Amino acid sequence: MKRRSFLKTLLAGVAAIVCPIKPVPIDPVALDNLAKIMVAPIRQQLNYQAIGRKLLMVDELPQGAYARYEKDVRVVSWIKS
């Protein structure tokens, strides 16, 4: 689905919820302005998701296997009084 048709159906759905009695005509200029305004927040969210995928490692396990990890640090604890 193209972006323009997606936004047109999205705005028509929102208009139907806000004003169910009379359909609101969608102006192409207003639709373009809305798309221009929404580009930056959507791109920022996608960039954050991409960074998160690069930083976090996923251990793939076979079906039904438990994830068992050894302790990372083996140190002796001391009480200081």
Average pLDDT, the chain: 76
Taking the CA atoms of residue 27, residue 28, residue 32 and residue 38 in that order, the dihedral angle to the nearest 10 degrees is 50
Stretch 50-71: mean pLDDT: 80
Per-residue pLDDT of 5-30, as tens digits, reads 776 776 666 655 555 555 567 788 88
What was the pLDDT predicted at 23?
58
Where is pLDDT greater, at 4 or 16? Answer: 4
| pLDDT classification of 33: cutoffs 50, 70, 90 | confident
- Report pTM: 0.37
Query: Distance (Å, rounded) from C-alpha 2 to C-alpha 28?
Result: 15
